[in-house]
Amino acid sequence: EEVQGSKLGNKRVRIVRENNPAFQHITRGVLEATPATEQPDGGALAHVGYGIKWALIGHPIPSTQDAQERLTKFKALAVLSSDAISSVAYATEAILVNLIAAGSQHLSVAFPISLVIIALMAIVGISYRQTIPAYPNGGGSYIVASSNLGMWPGLVAAAALLIDYVLNVAVSVAAGVHNLVALFSGLSHYVVLIDILLVIFITVVNLRGIRESGTFFAIPTHFFIVTAFIMIIVGVIKAFVVGHQPLIGHFAYAQELEPLSFFLILRAFATGCSAMTGVEAISNGVPAFKKPEARNAKITLTWMMGILMALFFGITVLTMTFHVAPNSSGSPTLIALVAQQVFTGPLVFMYPVFLIATLGILTLSAETSYSDFPRLASLLARDRFLPSQFALRGERLAFSVGIVCLALLAILLLVVFGGDTNKLINLFAIGVFISFTLSQCGMVMHWWRLRGQNRHWSYSMAINGVGALTTALVALIVSTTKFVEGAWIVLLMIPLLVFLFHGIHSHYRHFEAAKTTDIPANPQKIRHRLIVPISHLDRAAIQSIAYARSISPEVTAVHVSLNDEESQQIQDSWNTWQHEHLSEEEATHLLIIESPYRALLNPLLAYIDTLQKRHPGDTITVILPEFVVAHWWEYFLHNQVALRLKARLFFRPGIVVANVPQHLMDRPLKKKALYG
Amino acid sequence: EEVQGSKLGNKRVRIVRENNPAFQHITRGVLEATPATEQPDGGALAHVGYGIKWALIGHPIPSTQDAQERLTKFKALAVLSSDAISSVAYATEAILVNLIAAGSQHLSVAFPISLVIIALMAIVGISYRQTIPAYPNGGGSYIVASSNLGMWPGLVAAAALLIDYVLNVAVSVAAGVHNLVALFSGLSHYVVLIDILLVIFITVVNLRGIRESGTFFAIPTHFFIVTAFIMIIVGVIKAFVVGHQPLIGHFAYAQELEPLSFFLILRAFATGCSAMTGVEAISNGVPAFKKPEARNAKITLTWMMGILMALFFGITVLTMTFHVAPNSSGSPTLIALVAQQVFTGPLVFMYPVFLIATLGILTLSAETSYSDFPRLASLLARDRFLPSQFALRGERLAFSVGIVCLALLAILLLVVFGGDTNKLINLFAIGVFISFTLSQCGMVMHWWRLRGQNRHWSYSMAINGVGALTTALVALIVSTTKFVEGAWIVLLMIPLLVFLFHGIHSHYRHFEAAKTTDIPANPQKIRHRLIVPISHLDRAAIQSIAYARSISPEVTAVHVSLNDEESQQIQDSWNTWQHEHLSEEEATHLLIIESPYRALLNPLLAYIDTLQKRHPGDTITVILPEFVVAHWWEYFLHNQVALRLKARLFFRPGIVVANVPQHLMDRPLKKKALYG
């Protein structure tokens, strides 16, 4: 039954009956849409479209299920640490490749460098452990920098991170496909195509929602972690328990090309710091964890940093002990050579298994970007620095717009760079260190502000201060050493993005201010004046005129005529209609505008202008009769005058445009709807 | 001063004052738009845009100047015969290339073959001379075939001709650029680009109107005709007056590859018939001539056929006399070799002049297509076989849509075939002979019908009958010999086009019938029911509600809410507004629909559906509050919900959608327009 209140205050309409499948009645004036509203209402094609969409993405998830969609610690470790942990596969090699320029006798310097990086990891890890409880709603660099240092540093951190996330997807997919093509050389012509298909695949899995993608991507990450630990344990037993080898072995001779300068050591250190990309993913992704979010995130971060340091240390030790030098061609990789040394005899079957695990985690380290890019974009959208669409959760509670945007940008990069890892890698890692630096500077400010309330503030500030200085130095070194090779692109993009954010922000602020100020609380009566452009005196025209006259008697029908015969014809049929069927008070003006230049729109617009100038106080409504045809392609067969008129009128202030659609052909004609 | 009649019949509004620059007052209720309505009303950018357009295309020409825009016989000869006359540059060579397969001793067979073709030209020419007075409004194959043989043969003729016109543009432009690239080999990498630029150039010239393009293209055609006649006269004097050479000389020895079969002779004849493409252009283009159109067209056709036969005969005679055999590589061309023989001694300067003239007419023979394709398309559009846009004359009285459509199709062909003449030529000339055959069959029927009234009917019918048989034979031979090389594409395209024409025709017929039947002469009162979807209670929402209430008190504001806080917030601000500012009879319902799946559109559409089912007799109007922002890119910053809602509602019968635009920012806010 229907309740239709008539008193102010409790006057809200309840339009649905109890048995309406589309809505549930909540309270007076409040309905809730049911899943029935999500059913397609079109023809068979629409049903097929929805079917495909549901097969790919899944059925919609209601907002109330948000908590169930969160990540367990086990899945979060897989999703949010794949980027960081995958970097142990190449970090040691990156250090050695730099040092070998000074000849093989100095390769042992890699060991102290690695220890410094591990110390740095510990500092950054401890720092982020401090950030998580301080910012339980997500403490990425953007949040920490903007709330402690101000808007501009926050935006710089955000821009740097967004760029790095896109690069991470492109680089990891390209690296994965590169390894795949090495196995199946027949695919080498289709590298970019396979890249794109892989990006689309990862995108679709992510659009299914964070829980499902977590389940899917947990396997490769944990598989790599397990196999890598097996390698390290077996290797350590072989080297020190069975073999009694020295910690640092004798490397094969390599010619010295330059002296071991301090700069070379710094560069080796800076390159090795690529092991630290992805470290901030967990502190940024706190809201994705199951409750209690902050505690779970902190534990997961500790796990991740522990695993990262242990793997990095273990692989460096094995490299040193087995004196494995990097191959100048880059293939096989250092980690493959180490695995070859370790997995001998009865364990030889583990060698290909480990290689496949490495391939898997390298490819799927893109997942960290898929988790964090949309979340960071949603924070920026929430703060009005990106279009508001980025803040809306899609049907599966994922930030669909951000996911699709990331995928499109990554595909663009892959196409522009032809899927070439070597070119892409030069743009990589700068953004991460800039955002590290800003985030840690922000934490320094944070502790300084809390100096009255927290007794450990000086200790914490010191940790973050050391971290800030070190990461700033790394950012500087990475930017300088890779500047010509491509770092300049990133350093140019960051300010451009920041200005874009700021421009969007200004627009929204301006817009909000303009639409909420100067609201007339009590609007006066509207004086209507209606124009009905007609091409023929057909059913649509007559219905539109009837509609217009039901609003006000001030109706003018306007016909733009291309020649005299046309003018005469419409005038005659108009007169016949008016005289024979209508009473005197139902009579309507017809204005014929002859257009000697055969333009249809411009004379009509000039007439509307004239009318507006003559009657500045009136509200002009243009009623457009439109025939709705059965198929989209049939629109090409009719002059798009109505559509073009609407587009032109949209930019003129104070004119209301109403469409009176007249359906033809295979749909039932709802005459009653207009002539009840 | 303004006259506002109040009586029916003479009740028409005169809205403009005498000093309004946009309109001229014609009679009561009839205005005429002045050129002032064609002025751009946008910003500087719009003015620049119009400036460029006018510089390229020219100022609009009023419809009344139609007669002045017609072609004189001199210009018509240039525009309409460039295709036909340009073919003498390659027709003789085409015959010899076929015959040389039988060895050089049989090359002399080319002479009788040429005589047969000239006789055929005479037959076709006389036939078309008969067609012009019979069909003074344009007697192309489409008209003649459809009015004598019925719709289907007419459509086949039209499809065949349209295909050939497009091919002619592609082939002639490609051939011209091919010759140009031979001169400047550095351009060879940019063939397709130059092709496209040339097509765009010819298109722009044609968009300036038929008279201006006639002036422009007259020069190359007449230049070629003059230089070709000079060559023939000089050559004949040299050969027969000075040199006393035999009519058919001794050709250089060429090895026999196959015997001189009847089929080979037929093939040589068929290929030589390419000289006849473009012959029907004049009879199709009668309406483009100055008055008296039919007489001028007939005279021009006689000239053209005379020139064509004289040049073809002359060039064949010179080829025979100077025993010039075609070069197997195709370069230099046969006509260049003939010119080399003729222009010796003091006349040697004429050799490059003649080559340039040939290059010019080959390139610009595209112009015939530009003249006839849009005209044929306009005839098809008039008969409702093509979209009606093709029948509208543009600002310069040219059929702009047809011209642009031809250009786009030709560019598509050039891109697909990479600007390769050899590939394109295989598709060429089939269409012309199919349409010749159908046209002449139509003329046979025409004479048969007139057999009581015309005493020459049997003679005329015989001419057309011979023509029909011969051209049918040629069409058959061309189709068979070139089938595998590409003729199949044309033979496949023709039925597809015919079905397209028929489909369009059915749609229009159905549409016209549906929109004019069942017109309710005297519409009843409309019962309004209005829905105002709102996102916030901002200025646009309040104005839209005021607008809705001015139509009917049956207004419901609907808000789709994504969460409880949002629901509470809008309900509170709504209650405040209603209680504090509005009287009881001004009160409006607010319905809140909670959307657990975060969809904004579907719950709203489901609500509208529900309302429509509950109140089938009412007219539902959805009032959409919309903010109009200052720059187009700013639309990306706002949810496109209103736009998507409009798109979805457009396909539902019986729902009127009205936009109440609210302008923001840098435009003055016309508050008065809504709150007078």
Largest CA distance in chain B: 114
Between chains, do A591 and B31 touch, taking CB under 8 Å as contact? yes
B29 touches chain A (CB under 8 A): yes
Cβ atoms A148, A491 nearer than 8 A: no
Give the closest-approach CA distance of B625 to chain A in angstroms: 10
- Name the residue in chain B with its Cα closest to that of A539: B519
A176: left (phi over 0), alpha (psi -120 to 50) or beta: alpha
Give the C-alpha distances (Å, rounded to integers) separating B364 from A344, B182, B195.
78, 18, 12
Task: Record the tokens describing residue B330, joined without a space.
Answer: 């195709």
Instruction: Identify any residues that bridge with A593 across adjacent strands, giving them in sequence order.
Output: A560, B31
A654 reaches B (C-beta below 8 A)? yes
Closest chain A residue to the Cα of B384, Cα to Cα: A637
- The rounded distance, in Å, linking the Cα atoms of B521 and A242 is 104
| Dist CA B310 CA A233 (whole Å) | 98
Instruction: In whole angstroms, give the CA distance from residue B220 to residue B75.
Output: 11
If one compares B69 and A5, the residue with the highest pLDDT of the two is B69
Which range is least confidently modeled, A321-335, B2-16, B652-666? Answer: B2-16
Of B16, B598, B660, the CB nearest to A656: B660
**Helix crossing, B262-272 with B457-481: angle to 10°?**
110
Chain A partners within 8 Å of B20 (Cβ):
610
**Per-residue pLDDT at B331:** 66
Residue B673 has pLDDT above 60, yes or no: no
Which candidate, A425, A421, A410, A418, places its Cα nearest to that of A366? Answer: A410
**Residue A8's pLDDT band (cuts 50, 70, 90):** very low
Residue B647 Cα, gap to closest chain A Cα (Å): 12
* pLDDT score of B639: 57
> Counting Cβ atoms within 10 Å, is residue B67 exposed (0-12), middle (13-18) or buried (19+)?
exposed
Residue B592 touches partner A, C-beta closer than 8 Å? yes
The DSSP call for residue A453 is T
Please list every residue in chain B whose beta carbon sits closer than 8 Å to the beta carbon of residue A383: none
Q: Is the pLDDT of residue B164 over 70?
A: yes
CB A398 within 8 A of CB A378: no
Residue type, B155: L
Per-chain mean pLDDT for chain A: 81
- A651 and B628: CB-CB below 8 Å? yes
Q: Are B138 and B371 in contact (CB under 8 A)?
A: no
| DSSP code for B102 | G
Q: Does the distance separating the beta carbons of A37 and B605 come in below 8 Å? A: yes
Residue B203: per-residue pLDDT? 92
> Which chain A residues are Cβ-neighbours of B518 within 8 angstroms?
539, 669, 671
DSSP alpha helix (H) spans, B136-285: 141-149, 151-183, 191-207, 210-236, 262-272, 281-284
| pLDDT at residue A639, as a whole number | 57
Q: Would the CB atoms of A657 and B662 count as touching at under 8 Å?
A: no
Q: Please give the pLDDT value at position B2.
A: 39
Q: What is the pLDDT of residues A13-64, one digit of tens each?
A: 444 454 677 777 777 778 887 777 777 666 677 777 777 777 777 777 777 7
Residue B190's pLDDT is 83
pLDDT tens figures, B202-261: 998 888 887 777 788 888 899 999 999 999 999 999 888 887 777 776 677 777 777 878
> Which residue of chain B comes nearest to A22, CA vs CA?
B606
Residue B374 CB partners (closer than 8 Å, separation 6+): B390, B398, B399, B400, B401, B402, B403, B405, B406
**Which pair of tokens denotes residue B155?**
């459509």
Residues from chain B contacting residue A609 (CB–CB below 8 Å):
22, 41
Q: CA nearest B630 in A: which residue?
A: A651
Instruction: List the single residue in B with minimal CA-CA distance to A391.
Output: B639
Q: If you average pLDDT over every residue of chain B, what do you get?
A: 81
- pLDDT value at position B40? 65
Average of pLDDT values for B649-674? 62
The beta strands (E) that lie in B422-543 are given as 528-533
A64/B676 Cβ within 8 A? no
Q: Which of A236-240, A328-332, A599-603, B82-86 has the lowest mean pLDDT?
A: A328-332
Distance in angstroms (rounded) separating the CA atoms of residues A166 and B510:
53
CB atoms within 10 A of CB B245: 14
B436 and B124 in contact (C-beta within 8 Å)? yes
Find the mean pLDDT for residues B3-19.
41
Q: Provide the 10 A C-beta neighbour count for residue B425.
A: 20
Partner-chain contact A593 B23, CB within 8 Å: yes
| pLDDT tier at A596, thresholds 50, 70, 90 | confident
Centre a 10 Å sphere on the Cβ of residue A180 and count the other Cβ atoms it contains.
Answer: 15
Interface with chain A: mutation pick from B378, B384, B593, highest number of A CBs within 10 Å: B593
Q: Dump pLDDT digits (tens) for B471-494.
A: 888 888 878 877 877 788 889 999
Q: Per-residue pLDDT tens for B86-114? A: 888 888 888 888 888 888 778 888 889 99
Task: Give the mean pLDDT of A487-499.
Answer: 91
Residue A493 carries which side chain, given as an amino acid letter? M
Interchain CB distance below 8 Å, B29 and A590: yes
pLDDT over 90 percentage in chain A: 18
Chain A, 360 to 419: residues with Cβ < 8 Å from chain B are 387-389, 392-395
For position A674, what pLDDT does the model report? 35
A424-481 pLDDT per residue, tens: 776 777 888 898 899 989 989 988 888 888 788 888 888 888 888 888 888 888 888 7
**How far is it, in rounded angstroms, from Cα B34 to Cα B36?**
5
Q: Is the model's pLDDT at A488 over the cut of 90?
A: no
Chain centre distance of CA B327: 38
**Bridge partner residues of B592 (DSSP):** A30, B559
Interchain pair B519, A526: CB under 8 A = no
Q: Is the pLDDT of residue A328 over 80?
A: no
Distance between CA B271 and CA B99 in Å, rounded? Answer: 11
pLDDT band at A636 (very low <50, low <70, confident <90, very high): low
Predicted pLDDT at B663: 63
Q: What is the spatial distance between Cα B638 and Cα B417, in angstroms, rounded to a whole number?
A: 44
Rounded to an integer, the average pLDDT of B411-421 is: 84
User: Chain B contact for A513, CB < 8 A?
Assistant: no
Q: Which residues of B touch A569 (CB under 8 A)?
A: none
Please check whether residue A168 is in contact with residue A363, taking contact to mean a CB–CB distance below 8 angstroms: no
Q: Secondary structure of A127-189 in the HEC alphabet? A: HHHHHHHHCCCCCCHHHHHHHHHCHHHHHHHHHHHHHHHHHHHHHHHHHHHHHHHHHCHHHHH
The nearest alpha carbon in chain A to B507 belongs to A634
Chain B neighbors of A575, CB-CB under 8 A:
9
For chain B, how many residues are written? 676
Left (φ > 0), alpha (ψ -120 to 50) or beta: where does A593 sit?
Answer: beta
Mean predicted confidence (pLDDT) in B662-672: 46
What number is the average pLDDT over the span A247-269?
Answer: 76
DSSP secondary structure string for all residues of B594-607 = E-TT--SHHHHHHH
The region of weakest confidence among A631-645, B81-95, B343-357, B610-624 is A631-645
Of the candidates A76, A407, A51, A38, the residue with the CA atom closest to the CA atom of residue A210: A76
Residue A305 or A578, more confident = A305
pLDDT of B422: 67
Query: Is the pLDDT at A165 greater than 70, yes or no?
Result: yes
- The stretch A390-407 carries a mean pLDDT of 86
Q: Which residue of A550, A555, A621, A623 to mutate against B (max B Cβ within 10 Å)?
A: A550
Report the distance separating Cα B215 and Cα B208, nearest Å. 11
Residue B322 pLDDT: 87
Task: Say if residue A638's pLDDT is above 80.
Answer: no
Helix H or strand E segment including A529: strand A528-533
Which residues in chain B are contacts of A9 at CB distance < 8 A?
Answer: 575, 578-579
Residue A654 has pLDDT above 50, yes or no: yes
How many CB atoms neighbour CB B348 within 10 A? 10
pTM, full prediction = 0.74
pLDDT of residue A4: 40
Instruction: Please report, for chain B, how many H helices and E strands are present, in that order.
Output: 24, 7
Alpha helices in A36-109 (DSSP H): 44-57, 73-86, 91-99
Contacts of residue A25, defined as CB under 8 A and 6 or more positions apart, other chains included, come to: A14, A16, A18, A31, A32
Q: Do A31 and B594 touch (CB under 8 A)?
A: yes
The pLDDT > 70 percentage for chain B reads 88
Pairing of strands B619-628, A589-594: unpaired
**Cα angle value B598/B600/B603 (rounded, 5°):** 100
pLDDT value, residue A519: 61
Q: Rounded distance, CA B104 to CA B96, Å?
A: 9
Omega before residue B62 within 30° of 0, cis: no
Which among A33, A524, A575 has the least Cβ separation from residue B606?
A33
Tell me the range of A108-112, A337-341, A507-511, B157-161 where mean pLDDT is highest: B157-161
Determine the pLDDT at residue A331.
66
Average pLDDT over residues A264-292: 81
Neighbours of A431 (CB within 10 A): 30
Inter-chain touch B637–A60, beta carbons under 8 Å: no
pLDDT value, residue A313: 93
Closest-CA residue in chain B for A567? B30
Which chain A residue is nearest to residue B537, measuring alpha carbons?
A516
A603: its two tokens: 């004379």
Q: Among B56-60, B369-373, B529-533, B562-566, where is mean pLDDT lowest?
A: B56-60
Beta-bridge partners for B621: B530, B656
Residues 533-562 of B with CB under 8 A from A: 536, 538-540, 542-543, 546-547, 550-551, 556, 560, 562
Nearest to B597 among A395, A522, A639 (CB): A395
Q: Which of B508, B610, B676 sits opposite A524 (nearest CB)?
A: B676
H/E stretch holding B621: strand B619-628
Task: Mark which residues 627-646 of B lie under 8 Å from A by CB.
Answer: 627-629, 634, 636-639
**Which residues in A lie closer than 8 A to residue B501 (C-beta atoms)?**
none
Mean pLDDT of A654-670: 65
pLDDT at A635: 66
Q: Identify the residue whose tokens are 């460039």.
A: B82
Residue B29's closest CA among A568, A574, A590, A575? Answer: A590
Residue B592 DSSP code: E
Residues in A 595-614 with any Cβ partner in B closer than 8 A: 595-599, 602-603, 605-607, 609-612, 614
For residue A596, the chain B residues in CB contact (below 8 A) are: 32-33, 62-64
Looking at residue B7, its pLDDT comes to 33
Instruction: Give A551's contacts in chain B (Cβ within 8 Å).
Output: 550-551
For the cut 90, the answer to whether the pLDDT of residue A644 exceeds it is no
Find tokens 């411009």 and name the residue.
Answer: A602
Residue B509 neighbours by CB distance under 10 Å: 11
Rounded Cα–Cα distance for residues B559 and B570 (Å): 8
Helix, strand, or coil (residue B396): coil
More confident residue, B673 or B469: B469
Does residue A306 register a pLDDT over 90? yes
Q: With CB atoms and an 8 Å threshold, state whether A654 touches B667.
A: no
Whether B594 sits inside 8 A of A30 (CB atoms) is yes
Ranked by mean pLDDT, the top range of A174-178, A534-538, A619-623 is A619-623
Q: What does the DSSP assignment read for B15-70?
A: ---TT-TTEEEEETTEEEE-GGGGS--S-HHHHHHHHHHHHHH-S---GGGGGGGS
Nearest in space to B213 (alpha carbons), one of B375, B72, B79: B79
User: With contact defined as beta carbons under 8 Å apart, do B163 and B155 qualify?
Assistant: no
Distances (CA, A) of B436 to A583, B278, B358, B425, B506: 59, 10, 26, 19, 27
In the three-class reduction of DSSP (H, G, I as helix; E, B as strand; rest coil), residue B533 is classed as strand
The Cα B197–Cα B204 span in angstroms is: 10
Per-residue pLDDT averaged across B437-450, rounded?
A: 90
Tokens 């097509």 sit on residue: B199
Going by pLDDT thresholds of 50, 70 and 90, the confidence category of residue B671 is very low
The residue length of chain A stands at: 676
